Each structure stands twice: as C-alpha cells, then as structure tokens.
Amino acid sequence: MKQKSAPKIIDVARVAGVSTATVSRALSKPESVAKSTREAVLAAAAATGYRINVAARNLRSRRTGAVVVLVPNLGNPFFSQILAGIEATLSSKGLSILMVDTMQSGTRLDFIREYVHPSRADGVIVLDGSLPQDLLRPGGENGKQVPVVFACEWHPHEDFPSVRADNGQGARLAIEHLAALGHEKIGYVNGPEANVLSQFRLNATKKALADLGKTVNEHWFLKGDFTLQSGVLAARKWLDMTDRPTALLCANDETAIGLISELHQCGVHVPDELSVVGFDDVDIAQHYIPALTTVWQPRFELGTTVAQMLVDGISQGDLNPDAPVMTLPVKLKVRKSTAAPKPVASKTTAATTAA
C-alpha cells in the first residue's frame, strides 16, 4: 500500500475529496476554509504522511522562509550567544537560518554575494561591519532589495538599520570606575584597527579620559586584535614600559584574559600592580581568577532584537525608512581585577600581601 514517492498535495486532495487549492489553503491559512473541510484536510494530510515541498512553495510564493546570517567568525564564542538570540526569535516566526562564516568563505566574496539575493533569503543579518557594502546592495538601484540589518557591528558610513550595545557608555563607565579608584595613568588595549567597535571604544575611552581631566598618553594605547594572544603581547609591552599605566581597559574580555595570564606568568599580580577591565562579560569572566571587572553587553537580547527588527522589515515589505539605530544599554560589572593603584614606591612602603 505504501507509495514509492513522497505524497504530494494532490494526493492529500484526493483523500480529503477536495481540490489542491483547498488543501493549500487549509494548511497555510486555516481560517479561510470551513471548519469541516479543514478537519478533513488535516486528517488526510496526517493519513498520507504529507510533507510540503519547500522548494515548490518558495518558487511560487516568491519567498524563502530563510534569513541569512553573516558571521565574521563562527569559532568565536562572542557571537554564539548573539546567534542563539537570533535563532530563538527567527525560529519562533517559522524562519530558518542560513549561516555563513565570512572569514571562512572570505576568499570568495562571490560566494557570499550569492546569498544576498531574494531567491535565497527573505532578509540578511550582518554581524560583520567590514564587508564591502556593494555586496549588500546588489544590483544597485533596480531590482528587489533584500532587507539588511546589522547587529553589534555596523557600517560607519552607511545607513542600514542596526542594533548595537552602547559601546561609548561602556567605555565611559569603565574609565569612570578606574578614575574613582584613584587611577591617574590609564591606558587601553585596542582591537583590530579596521573594526568599528575597536575604534568606537577607543574614541569613547579617550573622550572619557579627557572629560575627567586625565592624561591621554599615546604610549599607553596599545594595538591588539581581540584575541587572547594580543592580550599576551600587550602584557609584554606593558612590562617593557618605563612609565607604566596603572590601569588598562581592554577592547574585549579575551584580550584582558590574555593580558592577565601573561602578567601572572611573569609574576605580576592583578589588580595589585595593574588594574584590568574587559569588555563583553563572556561567561568565563566572573569565574576567572581574579574575577574580571568588565562591561556587560546584552548579547542574547542583541540577537533577539535584531531578528525582530528584520522580521518587522520583512513583513512590511520594506525596512523602516528612517534607518533606526537601536542602542541597548550596557552595565559595568565590578569584580576583582580592578583596585586602587599601588601607592608610589618612593613613599612609605607597606608591602601588600597577595592572597
């Protein structure tokens, strides 16, 4: 009795004694058919084991039910929680996620370009602020545009809608915290220079320092690239300095952890000899030793928010024209990696004991 090939809509129609149009309606807009018919169709669908052919529906209805997510680096745990938020929202709307790692696929931009197209996806979420922008506006002015929204990162000179954390406020809170502890010599370990977040956090840091009347010493501003290793290198540079800052804000938690671990290797204790602040509040941060003082970002919420923004844009047929930029609040989590600076050596020396 079993059919060789998968049941199609016409098989269901036959069993239910209705037309294919009715089956289609009963399944996709149940309220548009009579109750009795709906039940008959549902029963027939169950009886035949019918499963819709997604390609056929997509072709005819000119939708895809999918959203492309362009992630800079899937291996980076920072993005995984944002992805989780995106997934939660999109799956609740019946949309699926096409994931593309722009690092991996980076050698062939054409590969990515293929995804930014109405026949592929109903929308695009970009977590990578450094993609060439022409890639996101395919076909210039003509043809249908796929709605594009940014999360976390963004294009500095473009006006795509975006959701981001309040990076400026985060840097300011961190600097104010260090200043309140009594630090006068405060530095910063940057992320990649090409990255908007790095630059934004860097500028906000300098602004906050200036506003507080603190020295902005370029020697205390170190390069980095968001990796653990760049924290290690920053530690070595700090060790080599003659006039060292007493506190360092890092562009992210990885950098802060690499920094602290290398200092530990070299017998330098945090926060006694240097206060360190991270950025992001990854899960490990509060379980690091010392527990990391850091700027918390609502990562899961960033994901749900950007997904919702895109869903709204898709259903409106177009994105909100005034290119909204949503900025979500951050929080400073004060833990154990920051403390008042050590009293200057030339004065009275009451040796501080380490735990």
- Contact positions vs a second copy (CB under 8 A): 2-6, 49, 51-56, 58-59, 64, 66, 73-77, 79-81, 83-84, 87-88, 91, 96-101, 104-105, 111, 114-115, 117-120, 138-139, 142-144, 228, 231-232, 254, 257-258, 260-261, 264, 267, 283-284, 286-289, 291, 300, 355
- CB-nearer residue toward a second copy: 6 or 43: 6
Q: Is residue 18 part of the contact set for DNA (CB under 7 A)?
A: yes
Which CB sits closer to DNA, 2 or 60?
Answer: 60
Cβ contact 161:198 at 8 Å: no
**Contact flag: residue 5 with DNA (CB under 7 A):** yes
Give min distance, CB of 65 to DNA, in A. 10
Residues β-bridged to residue 325: 162
Instruction: Compute the Cα dihedral for 343, 346, 351, 355 and give only its sign.
Output: positive
Distance CA 18, CA 292 (A): 65
Asked if residue 17 binds DNA (CB under 7 A), the reply is yes
Note whether 19 binds DNA by CB under 7 A. yes
9 binds DNA (CB under 7 A): yes
Number of residues that bind DNA (CB under 7 A): 30
Under rule CB under 7 A, which residues in 34-73 are in contact with DNA? 34, 36-37, 50, 52-53, 56-57, 59-62
What is the β-pairing status of strands 221-222 and 247-250? unpaired
- Give whichever of 46 and 210 is closer to a second copy, judged by the CB atom: 46
| Interacting residues with DNA between 283 and 312 (CB under 7 A) | none
Residue 2 binding result from a second copy, DNA, none, given CB thresholds of 5 to 8 Å by partner type: a second copy
* DSSP assignment letter at 6: P
Q: Binds 24, which of DNA, a second copy, none (CB < 5 to 8 A, cut-off by type)?
A: DNA
Looking only at the bridges linking them, the beta strands covering 331-333 and 325-328 are unpaired
Q: How far apart are CA 309 and CA 324, in angstroms?
A: 9
**Sheet of 275-280: strands edge to edge?**
221-222, 186-189, 247-250, 275-280, 293-296, 331-333
